[in-house]
Amino acid sequence: MPAREHILHKVRAALGRQAGQPPAPAPAARLRVPPGDPDARVRLMLERFSGTAARAASLAEARQIVAAKIAGLRAVASPAPLLDRAGILSLPEVAALTGDRGAVRQACAAADVGITTAEYGLADTGALVVLATPHECRLVSLLPLVHITVLAADGILSGLDELFTRLPDPAALSSSMVLIAGPSRTADIEQILTLGVHGPREIHLVLLDPR
């Protein structure tokens, strides 16, 4: 018996299966969504978010916070309805994005700051959930070295289990779902940590919480 078949035979035997036998159906997913206080989720999200965070009590205050962070810098922003309502798309530092993919790529590569919204936040890890949609271009959150995200407080979930109760089939809604847990990090063989190699070097959260 060839070595490969011998190894596979041992694996099958350990699983109690024979060659050609189809695997058993996968068990149903067991999702657990703990009861939670919305205020407690907000506090946990801010505590575990790996970046700077600011709370805004109104759209106008969110605009002021973003304006202060991008003053004197070149910025691009996703044409998201929330950013539009907040007046962030009209800030003088923010370049308008066209529908041309080449122009969007060039604008994002030249920008210092990318501004997006997030669909959800995960309180247990402090991660942001960003879906690629016609209103959210992935390049805006990936190419600039600084990423600012505006998130509505009512989008903060307990964790992944609750996320998949809201979005059981993310691929049906988006070509890409990205969980952003902090700045881009990488390390070489000597374990020297470098930020910003494969994405933003800085992450800033503006949490819109009118309560």
pTM of the model: 0.81
What phi and psi, each to the nearest 5 degrees, are found at residue 142? Answer: -110, -40
> How much is the mean pLDDT over the chain?
89
pLDDT tens digit sequence for 130-185: 999 888 888 999 899 999 999 999 999 999 999 999 999 998 988 899 999 887 76
Q: Is the pLDDT of residue 195 over 70?
A: no
Interatomic CA distance for residues 181 and 205, integer angstroms: 11
- Largest distance between two CA atoms of the chain: 72
Q: What is the C-alpha to C-alpha distance for residues 207 and 153, in angstroms, rounded to an integer?
A: 6
Q: pLDDT digits over 85-106, tens only?
A: 999 999 999 998 877 888 899 9
Task: Please name each of the domains of the chain with its CATH number.
Answer: 34-208 (3.40.50.10420)
Structural element, H or E, at residue 12? helix 3-15
